[in-house]
Structure 1
Amino acid sequence: MKNFTGPHLSLDSKLYDPVLEDSPLDTFSACLNARGVYESQRFALRLSPVVHELVDSVVAKAEQGNTAFSSEELQAYSTYLHETVHWWQHKGSTSGFIRSILYPVQTHSNLAALRQIVAALGPQKPIQELALHGELGLLPAGTEDAGLVANTVTNNFMDTEFYLALTLRPELDEEIYSNPYFEAAGHSFLITYSLVLGAVRELIDMDGVLFPDPQALIENLVDLADRRVIGYYYESQIIRAPVGLLDLYEGQARFIQLQFLSLSSDGLTTAEVRDSGMLDGVYGNAFRAFLKLSESPEPDDLNSPLIALFLFICDMSINPTVGFPADIDDYESFFLDADPGIRFAMLCRAVADYAPELRNFVSDYSAEEYIALAERLSGITGLRNHIVDLAKLDQHAKEDYGAASLMREHRSYRFSQSNIALRLLTGEFLAYVTDRIENPEFFCWTGYWLTEGSGTRSRELWLKHLSLFTDKADDGALFARQHPDRTEDDVLEVFNQFFAAVLLYDLSKQWVLNSGPFRHEYSWLTSSPTDPEFLERVKGVFHRHYGVDVDQFTLLKQSSIPKR
């Protein structure tokens, strides 16, 4: 899109804001019941009908060599870019990948236990209540073991949910800390990482060459609690990050979007976008925290080196590598080093205290500048250099038999039937890691490279990493995006298998944590969510894995969980 005519922009929120606002996640209970944030549990990119049409217009013009784009077209395309960045965050950053695969990991790591529970106690919901009955001695004689298993399953689900909520919205910490299931932040981090490592090692590191041993995390968890290390024992003090992933993901996506708009038009100032509301709330929280913590003045120019530094710090913050894929050298500080919001604060303070010259460092938006920033800030803060660690992962993926086999499946788009969701997401992650190691500047400063970049590499990377699934202008249901190197039959087969698995994960989570009947709220997936044939397929997915129908469940009245 280089060298096109840049119009004056009349900013219109209908064109640059997301099409769907998720339910407000103002409480932890809302997070537990959420149907996905950024579509991260639906793995889809959504645009409004008008934005779809304008994006199609941009693509058609570009194919004809016409670069006279209107203000409306550019704003719509910037929204497409913004939402694509969210896809990259969730499939390609380490924090996003962990969040994305936790959905399948929650179910698959507890699958045998869930089957044991239903075999011993019959179809009852929720399992959380069965666990409580077991603790109170209210289960039938001879089923005590099933009660213990129900307790383990409930705690595994809750610990991962605590991790997800604390990293997304750290301001929910007081509510989370008062939850009877909550042990400590570090406890939830180590449990989550142990489950993720167990699943990923089985897939791409069977010999344990690269990833830490999940058993070592559990052993250290017990030791840290026994020694009453802050963050690892019950009622530890709260250490709150100034921002969470919600702020970081939205801030990164917004400023990439703004740089694209500024460079593709006759210009935008920071004051203009702030006055328009484009930096309100979560869209500007991380930037405001960056200015405060780094003791930097707000730049007038959206293409300032300071904005480039902010985008780099966002990128390094959301890519912790301690514990995944790298070893944990210091368990006492692990949960702080792995928390994106804490990392963000450390990196910003490093600029203020030790490296003020970095405010004016980026001028070429180059890979060399990106790598230099990573080395400098890693050295100052003691945080691991994520580019170095991801390069080791990339090399491992080329050498390990299981990883190489998975990447062949990913390239052919023909996957083994076993745990297809984890296989597809891991394949996407590894493919993204390969390209970001070679071109870190493109994925950090995408707005710049899509407008100012020369050659074909930027376009190749952009097209290669578009979302797998999207809606259409005239239909809110999801569709698989066609790919020039994949057959239509293969794409459709993966789409059907993948979302059948997603439905299983949703129903399994409901079974464990949510009271009341199963909810079949799948209008996000199909235009006919109440169609009897579709509902039978949904129920069939659950029955194939657990041997019972969702309609057979006895619904237990949820008791008040006693305080500890």
Structure 2
Amino acid sequence: MSPFSHLDPYLLNPANDPLVFDATLAGYGSYTTEHFVLRLSPRAHELVDALTQRDTEGHEVAELYQAYSTYLHETVHWWQHMGSTAGLILSLAYPAQIYGSMTSLQTFARGAGVVKPVKAWAHRAMLDGRTHSDPVLAAANIAVNNALDIKFYKQLAWSPESILSLEQTPYFQSVGHSYLKTYGEIVHAINGSCDFAEGQFPDPGRWDAQFLKLQLSRSEGFHRGARPPYADIGIQQIFEGQARFCQIQYLASSGGPELLQTYREQGYFAPVYVDAFELFLVLTGTEWPERYDSPIVGLFLLICDLAINPTRGFPLDIEFFEGFICDVDPGARFTRLCLAAAETPELAQAVQSFSAQEYEHVAARLSERCGYDDPRTGLAAVVGLLGDKGPVDALMEEHRTFNYAGVNMPVRVLISHFIAFCQDKQRRPEFFCWPGFWMAGDKFNPEAGSLFATHLSLFQDRGDTEQIFPRAVRGRSPENIKKLVNTFFGGMLVFDLALQWVLEPGPFRYDFKWLTGKSENAALIALAKRQFAQYYGPDPDTCTLIDSPVP
């Protein structure tokens, strides 16, 4: 393999839409949280295809591997959203904003029609003297509060300092309320959508009494005004820092520059990609390492992995409710894990060969010091569900064939992929912690290539269009793949319209170019309207628009 030193200056990553994870300034690649799709630029598609098909004649080595590093970067984002527990909660937060309110919205539609937004109607109704004993107002409040509580969770997990602005919002109660409500709604959606048996995952209904105690005792983080400490970074910086250093390890292992300073000079460390790493260095009291394969880089990536994989609430039950925020908040976990690493300085040099043994040793030491579950405990809880000869095995048979049941398919699809990911991560934790290292150079082997291919993103675009396509997967029939993409995104469109109905002023938006690559989507819009009417009764075109009285 010929080494290369030239790095394309266009392979940079500014942040724009907060739920779009970019890998390049020129749009070489992105992963979108709420669309579940990995996108590459036409040029990146061309180069990745050339490399994977071994048809590289006429292409520069540097361009080939940089394009593939972008592909790896965005695939890591898919793993974060589908394979980590914090990422899965973030991904499912979008449909969960509506899932638990569907019956309430049907009640509201029967009583008030399609008045938009529901939030403004509810506020006006209370100003007019209606009380929660009114079933229509009660239904409206359930829908609005569910949507907002989960929205607040996403904001807090994304940027912990958003607590400062949320405290000025009348709908915001507390960090703990938003976190417990979000976990409760999502775990409820998982159990209900996948028909899991009692005890396979936690029962959120059992959390209510403990949460009420925390509220009544005005515990920190669980009562309005009782603000808990908040982290300096959130899940965005952790996700981007993890993906960036995995990308750099791949580039360097493929023959690219080995010194981190080179990547800094080429702009690979814009703030969102280096904030987590620089905080890690400060908290652990270590200096910038020189090389991509430094044990310090290995430790940082391992801490990122632990930070985004809490276990309490999902997949394990909550035992210590007072500590729930610190147990599951990615930024808080990252901070505590870094401080634990500082208290065990011998771990700074523990990652030498990027092996499973090193991963398990360091992860166990850090988790124990923080009072967290060993990551193997969470993985074992998920993988241990396999073989139940019941709902879990039935779901994984759907995953094997892509012949998913149509009811709440998005949840079923993501949970089945999560279980499959946990199964492989339990066996090869080092690969998923340091994939850039294992996907290139001397460490690459057919097993690594197979693992990477097995867990590629489910949906992607193509080089000649922005339209979303399901990835062709061996063993899945074209008919089932087509059914999957149609039903999955059909469900997501209904969630989108319902969320607009609840929270957004103005007429419904039918901007589906992100899905089809086309500006005109008359047939798809008609389908979305029919599905909305099927779920909730009225045609969205008949909605009455009202202005919110809230300034």
C-alpha separation between the residues in 1 aligned to 2:99 and 2:239? 27
Aligned to 1:284: 274
| 2:61 is aligned with 1:70 | yes
Name the CA distance, whole Å, in 2 between partners of 1:531 and 1:160.
30
Task: Please tell me whether residue 152 in structure 1 is matched to residue 145 in structure 2.
Answer: no
Q: How many matched pairs?
A: 541
Quickly say closer, same or farther: Cα 1:126–1:316, change in 2 above 3 A.
Answer: same
Q: Which residue identity lines up with residue 280 of structure 1 in the other structure? A: A
Query: Retained in 1: the 8 A contact 2:235–2:308?
Result: yes
Q: Does 1:175 align with 2:168?
A: no
Distance 2:350 2:357 in 1: 11
User: Which of 177, 186, 189 is residue 176 of structure 2 equivalent to?
Assistant: 186
Match of 1:57 in 2: 50
Q: 1:350 is matched with which residue: 340, 355, 371?
A: 340
Unaligned runs of 5+ in 2: 20-29
Contact 1:121 1:143 (8 Å CA) reproduced: no
Cα pair 2:190 2:412 within 8 Å, conserved:
no
Tell me the CA shift for residue 14 of structure 1.
2.3
Tell whether the 8 Å contact from 1:471 to 1:477 is kept in structure 2 after alignment.
Answer: yes
Determine the structure 1 residue equivalent to 2:23. none
CA contact (8 A) 1:6 1:68 kept: no
Alignment of 1:7-156 (within 5 A): 7-15=3-11, 17=13, 22-23=16-17, 38-61=31-54, 70-137=61-128, 144-156=134-146
Q: Where does residue 34 of structure 1 map in the other structure?
A: none
Deviations 1:121-155 (A, max 9, x none): 1110011112212322366x999211121112111
Look up the match of 2:510.
Answer: 520
User: Partner letter of residue 178 of structure 1?
Assistant: Q
Maintained 8 Å contact 2:100/2:146: no
1:363 corresponds to which of 344, 352, 374: 352
Measured in 1, the distance between the counterparts of 2:547 and 2:33 equals 30
The structure 2 residue matched to 1:440, chosen from 429, 447, 450, is 429
Q: Distance in 2 between matches of 1:423 and 1:23?
A: 27
Is the contact between residue 160 and residue 230 of structure 2 (CA under 8 Å) also seen in structure 1?
Answer: yes
Alignment partner of 2:541 out of 551, 558, 561: 551
Length-normalised TM-score, structure 1: 0.92
Residues 437-462 of structure 1, C-alpha deviations (whole Å, 9 max, x = no match): 11111111000100132532101101
Equivalent position SS for 2:513: coil
| Range moving further from structure 2, 197-206 or 500-509 | 197-206
Matches within 5 A, 1:290-329: 290-329=280-319
Q: Distance in 2 between matches of 1:509 and 1:347?
A: 36
2-structure distance, mates of 1:454, 1:17: 27
- The answer as to whether partners of 1:211 and 1:326 remain within 8 angstroms in 2 is yes
State the AA in 1 paired with 2:11: L
| Structure 2 partner of 1:31 | none
Q: Aligned partners of 2:537, 2:417: CA distance in 1, in Å?
A: 32
Shift of 1:492: 0.8
Give the Cα–Cα distance (whole angstroms) in 1 for the partners of residues 447 and 303 of structure 2.
Answer: 24
Tell me which moved more, 420-429 or 379-388: 379-388
Identical-residue share of aligned pairs (%): 37
Deviation per CA, 1:447-488, whole angstroms, max 9, x where unpaired?
010013253210110111111111111101111111121111
- Of 380-389 and 141-150, more deviation after overlay is shown by 141-150
Superimposed CA distance per residue, residues 361-389 of structure 1 (whole angstroms, 9 cap, x where no aligned partner): 11121111111112111111111212212
> Which 10-residue stretch deviates more, 325-334 or 282-291?
325-334
Corresponding residue SS for 1:45: strand
In structure 2, do the counterparts of structure 1 residues 402 and 167 end up closer, same or farther at CA, with 3 Å as the change threshold? Answer: same
Residue identity opposite 2:457 in structure 1: S
Q: Does 1:417 align with 2:406?
A: yes
Which residue does 1:33 correspond to in 2? none
Secondary structure of 2:69's counterpart equals: helix
Question: What is the TM-score normalised by the length of structure 2?
Answer: 0.94
For residues 375-434 of structure 1, give each alpha carbon's deviation from its aligned partner in whole angstroms, at most 9, with x where no partner exists: 111111111212212212111233261111111111111011211111111111111111
- Report if aligned partners of 2:4, 2:62 keep a CA contact under 8 Å in 1: yes
Question: What CA distance in whole angstroms lies between the structure 1 residues aligned with 2:366 and 2:129?
Answer: 55
State the one-letter code of the partner of 1:229: S
Deviation (angstroms), 1:326: 1.1
Secondary structure of 2:385's match? Answer: helix
SS in 2 for 1:417: coil
Q: Is contact 2:85–2:309 with CA below 8 Å preserved after alignment?
A: yes
Change (3 A) 1:360 1:142: closer
